[in-house]
């Protein structure tokens, strides 16, 4: 057991961290003085936390790596969000001191008084995700110009909702036409598309990325839970699987591992990605069952049994030898049904506090995955 922790965690401390960075740089052909450029596309809760984890682990190696986040400009927070954010800042002495040192505190005071509007890209630079203001992150480098963010990136993290993935990566393809090397893409997106042409089939986010951006499937990986973004950043113990080609999944699993965030690798990208999408649909139902049965353990267990049976059936339709529904795959479904924005959404629907016509982007929660 102890050996397993040392293999998969960062037991070697700072030196081990730099060794992992150097190993990935060599694999990507980076020479001395040539930055390894990592950019996260999209700044929802998980995309922002993922970038912040990398920044915390590797950001101090400024001569070797650059970590940035792209998000669209112009999204404004409302007065109630500004008031809540101000309370969060003042409840955390470390965050308050950091903002004062950065001469950034005054704008939050002005926003609290209603004298200023705070924008999502602006506060993300200070370490606040608009969808997760209760969990302050480290300061992040934020870019609002998509071409600037991606044109020379070595690793692109897809933190977009699945409903936006195809559109954005079609735009990215325009900026990569003259590239000699192809970037490596890690997709965090959870969701699926259905297509009837030429035959009925399910399309996953990694497949969307490949067709939209012209990136070979060998260079596209999927990273899935079980995890809740805020809990991971608060260093609650978690694990994940990165799925894809052997060439990239094993070194990236090693690069991403941290003492509290253990990343394993797996070759079955289809099963993991499809389940990553289906679990969000099931989570809405789980929230509704919980609300309508007054948290009946029996009713919730029956619902869970039906979900897992259907997941097994669907994955067997999609691949000849799917990964067994066990371990992390089962746990990823369980934690999403237990806690998360989709389960919360289902509860609110059942209680009559939300309506379907209110859409799939909910204030303070972000995008309700695969609702579209």
* Model confidence pLDDT, tens digit, residues 338-369: 877 888 888 988 998 886 676 666 654 555 55
Residue 260 pLDDT class (50, 70, 90 cuts)? very high
Q: Is 341 annotated as a binding residue?
A: yes
pLDDT reading at 226 higher than 90: no
pLDDT at 15: 54
Q: Is 285 annotated as a binding residue?
A: no
Q: Is 247 annotated as a binding residue?
A: no
Q: Is 107 annotated as a binding residue?
A: no
Which is more confident, 272 or 138? 138
Is 64 annotated as catalytic?
A: no
The tens digit of pLDDT for each residue in 96-122 reads 999 999 999 999 999 999 999 999 999
Q: How far is CA 90 from CA 59, 127, 313, 331, in A?
A: 26, 14, 50, 36
The tens digit of pLDDT for each residue in 48-90 reads 999 999 999 999 999 999 999 999 998 999 999 999 999 999 9
Name the 3-class secondary structure at 185. Answer: strand
pLDDT at 11: 38
User: What is the overall mean pLDDT for the chain?
Assistant: 88
Q: Is 190 annotated as a binding residue?
A: yes
> Which range among 144-148, 196-200, 250-254 shows the weakest confidence by mean pLDDT?
196-200
pLDDT at 322: 66
Q: Is 283 annotated as a binding residue?
A: no
What are the residues whose beta carbons fall under 8 Å from the beta carbon of 241, sequence distance 6 or more? Answer: 223, 224, 263, 264, 265, 266, 272, 328
pLDDT reading at 127 higher than 70: yes
Residue 265 pLDDT class (50, 70, 90 cuts)? very high
pLDDT at 150: 96
Active-site residue, selected from the candidate residues 64, 107, 254, 279? 279
What are the residues whose beta carbons fall under 8 Å from the beta carbon of 184, sequence distance 6 or more? Answer: 28, 154, 155, 156, 219, 220, 221, 248, 252
pLDDT reading at 139 higher than 80: yes
- Domain boundaries defined on the chain: 2-73+142-267, 274-367
Segments in 151-261 forming alpha helices (H): 162-175, 205-213, 229-233, 246-256
- CA-to-CA distance for 241 and 222, rounded, in angstroms? 8
pLDDT at 96: 97
Name the 3-class secondary structure at 222. Answer: strand
Which is more confident, 265 or 7? 265
pLDDT reading at 29 higher than 90: yes
pLDDT at 362: 65
- Average pLDDT (286-300) is 94
Name the class of domain 2-73+142-267: alpha beta
Q: Is 42 annotated as a binding residue?
A: yes
What are the residues whose beta carbons fall under 8 Å from the beta carbon of 78, sequence distance 6 or more? Answer: 363
pLDDT at 334: 83
pTM of the model: 0.85
Q: Is 229 annotated as a binding residue?
A: yes
pLDDT at 5: 32
Q: Are 333 and 323 in contact (CB under 8 A)?
A: no
Residue 6 pLDDT class (50, 70, 90 cuts)? very low
Q: Is 43 annotated as a binding residue?
A: yes
């Amino acid at each position: 057991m102890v050996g397993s922790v040392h293999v998969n965690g960062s037991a070697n401390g700072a030196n081990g961290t730099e060794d992992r960075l150097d190993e990935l740089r060599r694999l990507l052909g980076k020479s001395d003085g040539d930055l390894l450029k990592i950019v996260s596309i999209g700044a929802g809760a998980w995309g922002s936390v993922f970038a912040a984890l990398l920044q915390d682990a590797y950001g101090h190696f400024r001569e070797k790596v650059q970590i940035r986040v792209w998000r669209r400009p112009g999204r404004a927070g409302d007065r109630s969000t500004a008031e809540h954010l101000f309370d969060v800042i003042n409840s955390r002495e470390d965050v308050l001191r950091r903002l004062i040192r950065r001469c950034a505190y005054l704008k939050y005071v002005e926003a609290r008084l209603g004298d200023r509007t705070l924008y999502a890209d602006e506060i993300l630079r200070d370490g606040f995700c608009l969808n997760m203001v209760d969990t302050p992150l480290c300061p992040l480098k934020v870019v609002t110009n998509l071409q600037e963010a991606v044109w020379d990136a070595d690793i692109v993290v897809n933190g977009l909702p699945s409903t936006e993935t195809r559109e954005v990566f079609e735009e990215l393809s325009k900026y990569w036409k003259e590239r000699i090397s192809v970037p490596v893409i890690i997709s965090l997106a959870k969701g699926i598309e259905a297509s009837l042409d030429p035959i009925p089939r399910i399309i996953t986010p990694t497949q969307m990325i490949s067709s939209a951006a012209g990136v070979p499937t060998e260079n596209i990986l999927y990273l899935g839970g079980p995890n809740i973004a805020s809990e991971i950043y608060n260093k609650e113990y978690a694990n994940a699987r990165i799925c894809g080609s052997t060439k990239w999944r094993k070194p990236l699993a090693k690069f991403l591992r941290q003492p509290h965030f253990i990343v394993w690798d797996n070759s079955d990208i289809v099963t993991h990605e499809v389940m990553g999408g289906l679990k969000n649909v099931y989570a809405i139902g789980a929230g509704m069952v919980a609300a309508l049965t007054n948290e009946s353990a029996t009713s919730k267990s029956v619902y869970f049994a039906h979900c897992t049976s259907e997941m097994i059936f669907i994955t067997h339709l999609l691949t000849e030898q799917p990964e067994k529904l066990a371990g992390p795959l089962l746990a990823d479904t369980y934690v999403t049904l237990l806690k998360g924005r989709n389960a919360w959404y289902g509860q609110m629907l059942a209680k009559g506090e939300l309506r379907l016509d209110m859409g799939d982007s909910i204030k303070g929660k972000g995008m309700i995955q695969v609702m579209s």
